[in-house]
């Protein structure tokens, strides 16, 4: 279906997201779409020297829960996704990746959200120091890939980006 954008209203413009109301015309019908504009994000699959995957326990304010996730973060304006992946890995885990390999990209929720997520595999990790953002509460959780898969199966891992990235890694990227 072809549509014509008649008008775009910015309802909210924050630090990380912008909420827009799009007025569209299609097949002589006028309708609205609510769009959350997001700069994009990265997800990192950190592979430790012994083959374990470095997950994190991360308290998420929006849902008031601690989730088990892969390290991830939002792109800064005009930031290269690979640079963001290296920065976020170091900040959240205290590990520096000597090698980052692009794995895949995906859209988190394309019905309402423009966020594109770039997933990287991080190898040759060197321990440094965590540099957490204000309000971040992150605990490291290294696990075998088989353990992570079982955590997905049992519902212990509920974060969609983590589930998709780990399943892709297991199916297509494992050494």
What does the pLDDT look like over 17-76, one tens digit per residue?
Answer: 999 999 999 999 999 999 999 999 999 999 999 999 999 999 999 999 999 999 999 999
Please name each of the domains of the chain with its CATH number. 4-37 (no CATH), 41-173 (3.90.79.10)
Q: For the chain, what percent of residues have pLDDT higher than 90? A: 93
Residues identified as active-site? 136
Residues ≥6 apart with Cβ < 8 Å to 53: 45, 46, 47, 70, 142, 143, 144, 145, 148, 166, 169
- The Cα 91–Cα 89 span in angstroms is 6
Tokens of 170: 């297991």
Dihedral (Cα; 26, 27, 28, 29), 10-degree rounding: -60
CA 18 to chain centre: 18
Q: How many CA atoms lie within 13 A of 39 on its CB side?
A: 16
């Amino acid at each position: 279906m072809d549509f014509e954008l008649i008008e775009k209203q910015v309802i909210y413009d924050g630090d990380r997201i912008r909420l827009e109301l799009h007025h569209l015309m299609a097949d002589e019908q006028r309708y609205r779409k609510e769009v959350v504009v997001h700069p994009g994000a990265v997800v990192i699959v950190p592979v430790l020297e012994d083959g374990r995957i470095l997950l994190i326990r991360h308290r998420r304010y929006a849902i008031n829960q601690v989730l088990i996730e892969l390290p991830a973060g939002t792109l800064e304006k005009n930031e290269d996704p690979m640079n963001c992946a290296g920065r976020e890995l170091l900040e959240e885990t205290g590990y520096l990746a000597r090698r980052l390999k692009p794995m895949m990209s995906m859209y988190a929720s394309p019905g309402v959200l423009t966020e594109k997520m770039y997933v990287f595999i991080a190898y040759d990790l060197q321990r440094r120091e965590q540099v957490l953002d204000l309000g971040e509460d992150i605990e490291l959780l290294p696990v075998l890939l088989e353990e992570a898969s079982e955590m997905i199966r049992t519902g212990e891992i509920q974060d969609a980006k983590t589930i998709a990235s780990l399943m892709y890694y297991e199916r297509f990227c494992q050494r």
